[in-house]
Homo-oligomer: A and B are copies of this chain.
Amino acid sequence: MRLSRYFMPTLKDNPSEAEIVSHRLMLRAGMVRQSSAGIYSWLPLGYKVMRKIEQIVREEQDAAGCQEMLMPTIQPADLWRESGRYDDYGQEMLRITDRRERDMLYGPTNEEQITQIFRDSVRSYRELPKLLYHIQWKFRDEVRPRFGVMRGREFLMKDSYSFDVDKDGARRSYNKMFVAYLRTFARMGLQAIPMQADTGPIGGDMSHEFIILADTGESEVYCHPDLLTFDSFNADVDFEGDLQPIVDKWTSLYAAADEKHDPGNCPVPADQLITRRGIEVGHIFYFGDKYSKPMDAKVTMADGSEVFVEMGSYGIGVSRLVGGIIEASHDENGIVWPASVSPYDVGLINLKAGDDACASACDGFFSQMKAAGLDVLYDDTDERAGAKFANMDLIGLPWQLIAGPRGLKNGVVELKNRASGEREELSFESALSKLTA
């Protein structure tokens, strides 16, 4: 993509409304624009990142045997009356009346809807287990939307739902999602730590939040020091095999966020306990027959008996992750994208767009890089060099390939690594083979 044609309205100054660094950088880099409080339009650069995150989430859900579908955003209130949550949910639910005076709502979550679909279609234990997911926009009418896309009102989530005939099956489904989540976040370059979370009246140990560490995180988290030494988990996995050892390893050491942590009852001595800031990016939760019972979702077993299905739900905040990754990976000059979610693989900077020889060399580099399979953002504008450097640092692509008349005369370009700041002079061919290695 040529920057001269790209719709990427960057801002030179820090927008005053942005309280946190990811919000500030997303506005400055032209990734999003606010539409109204807590509701954003995603401009091309930001949308490209979100789609990459979405695709990683999708691939890992598919690998775990979860099947993709899509439920609508607008749900009938009657469905929520069946579960009893319509009155309980409070003002965060965006309630709507349609032209025929029917009560509707913009889904804040989808347990009721998936339970309805399940009970209308599945009759026999033989059809279980089932793991279904969708990636859809949700709405929570937060009283104080803030932190940009981190706590918006309209937000994109992946949620999965599992259906099993008994608790052993439910645990196997839970473990699949646990391991899929470890892999998902590792692929995004994140160290996400599973932390104990509230199970409410269900009890047990099957509720975990996945939290990434960032100094600017929203909540305080507490964990055993050794947990920070674990390598992030991205091994190949047989999802039909026994995943319990992986789950056991990652839950063997204490980790909890502030609403769960109890200083008086913590197994890690206070002088060893690590305290950090963190951002929740996923939550997995087993809730048994909480919905299947009131909504009558049951299957017939081999012996003719009927059982309410055991369910769990598993969420990942897709739009929130765009901000979360920036919180975890930036410096004073801007964003530092992990390669897997970077909007482009590399930025090509023509230092002197007015110089015909330099422009034509850069056009050639652009073609060759694209032909080699690289996704390139090519700064072909006539901005001055300093502004181009600052801009490219701001948007945070992993590599910058910089070409100017002086270097070209000597047959070299400059290759800059955004994360380390290291620069190297080398031939274009060497740079290209480095980038495609």
Contacts and interface: CB of A to CB of B under 8 A. Distances in A.
A407 to B, nearest CB: 28
Give the secondary structure class of A's interface.
mixed
Given A96-B94, A99-B143, A120-B33, A71 B41 contact: yes
B104 A36 contact: yes
Given A35-B76, A75-B35, A70 B42 contact: yes
Nearest to A71: B41
Contact of A42 (B69, B98, B104): B69
Contacts of A68: 44, 47-48
Contacts of A189: none
A329 interface: no
Contact of A70 (B6, B41, B96): B41
A44 B67 contact: yes
Contacts of A433: none
A67 B7 contact: yes
A260 interface: no
Interface string A116-156: 01001110000000101000010101010000000001100
Nearest to A10: B121
Q: How many copies does the complex hold?
A: 2
A233 interface: no
Contacts of A9: 120-122
Contacts of A73: 73, 137, 154
A69 B43 contact: yes
Interface residues of A, number: 50
A164 to B, nearest CB: 14
A121 B44 CA distance: 13
A9 B72 CA distance: 18
A293 interface: no
A418 to B, nearest CB: 23
A94 to B, nearest CB: 7
A98 B41 contact: no
B102 A72 contact: no
A106 B73 CA distance: 10
A213 to B, nearest CB: 29
9 contacts: A33-B120, A33-B121, A36-B74, A39-B74, A41-B72, A42-B70, A50-B70, A73-B73, A99-B141
Complex A-B, nearest 10 residue pairs according to Cβ-Cβ distance, in ascending order: A9-B121, A42-B70, A36-B76, A91-B99, A41-B71, A44-B67, A39-B72, A99-B141, A72-B154, A47-B70
Given A35-B113, A36-B104, 16 more contacts: A7-B67, A7-B132, A9-B122, A35-B72, A39-B74, A41-B69, A44-B68, A44-B132, A47-B70, A50-B70, A72-B137, A73-B73, A94-B96, A94-B98, A98-B141, A99-B143
